Amino acid sequence: MAELTVGVRELKSQLSKYLRQVKAGRTVVITEHGKVVAQLGPASQSVEEKMKAMVKAGLAEWDGKKLKPMKPIARVKEGFSVSRIIIEDRR
């Protein structure tokens, strides 16, 4: 969706109208004397909401249950750090 650009005065007088637009997923760019001062956009979704949207779009499969904790695949030897191992691996 395209962005809407609105001045502060117009936003104040028509706030409900622009909030409906934001709820619908649009972004409102707010200007003051022709200069952009803020951007108003939809609140971010929770991880669960994003997963449900992906399932609905056919991009993922999920039974709605939380994943069970897994044991680590690898361990770092004592005295070493992951960053040190990565730096050595890049040489």
How far apart, in whole angstroms, are the C-alpha atoms of residue 44 and residue 66? Answer: 21
pLDDT digits (tens, 9 = 90+) for 25-82: 888 999 999 999 999 988 887 888 888 888 888 888 888 788 888 887 777 778 778 8
Residue 1 has pLDDT above 70, yes or no: no
Q: What is the CATH T-level fold of the domain 1-91, as seen in this structure?
A: YefM-like fold (3.40.1620)
Minimal CA–CA distance to 10: which of 35, 43, 26, 32?
A: 32
pLDDT score for 9: 95
| Residue 24 or residue 36, greater confidence | 36
Evaluate if residue 6 carries a pLDDT over 90: yes
- Top pLDDT among 91 and 20 is at 20
